Amino acid sequence: MERDIQEILIDANQLKAKVKELGQRITADYKGKNLLMVCVLKGGITFMADLIREINLPIEIDFMAVSSYGASTHSSGVVRILKDLETGIEGKHVLIVEDIIDTGLTLKYLVENLKARKAASVKICTLLEKPARRRIDINIDYCGFTIPDKFVVGYGLDYNEKYRNLPYIAVLKPEVYSS
């Protein structure tokens, strides 16, 4: 796998420090509130697993799987829910945990969908954002890192279901995904 990597953008130590910082902020902001953390599968699972261990509050977790990419490296803009929540969210404070936000289309759809279910609040926590690819304005409440417009893998992010288990965020060599 390492031979397919062009460069490491964010190493394991940087990830660990940022996740701890985000966990502390979320702990302070949601003190005394009924927090439901919703992980967007599959990419968000590694981030979510580490993040919940840094939050010092009673929390609930649930999962959604959505698709706007398929096997492509670019979002189609059409969002499909592949797995919906198992938990009712009415009256709960929902924090969507996402691996990466680029165009913003998927998150806009999810936020509107969850607000329509009468959540007390819906906020976004993302590990990565790519503002250069943003197509719509979306409010990101908690952001780990802002990255350049490069195709990244690792720490849950994949290309064609591979590279998720890398312990860092790396740029994939273009020849790997353009062939």
Domains within the chain, CATH numbers bracketed: 13-148 (3.40.50.2020)
Sequential pLDDT tens for the chain (179 residues) = 789 999 999 999 999 999 999 999 999 999 999 999 999 999 999 999 999 999 999 999 999 998 775 545 555 567 889 999 999 999 999 999 999 998 898 899 999 999 999 999 999 999 999 999 888 999 999 999 999 999 999 999 999 999 999 999 999 999 998 86
Q: How far apart, in whole angstroms, are the C-alpha atoms of residue 128 and residue 150?
A: 12
Distance of CA 79 to the CA centre of its chain: 15
pLDDT 10s digits, 45-91: 999 999 999 999 999 999 999 877 554 555 556 788 999 999 999 99
Provide the annotated active-site residues.
102
Structure tokens at 92: 């709960």
**pTM for this predicted structure:** 0.91
Cβ neighbours around 44 below 10 Å, total: 26
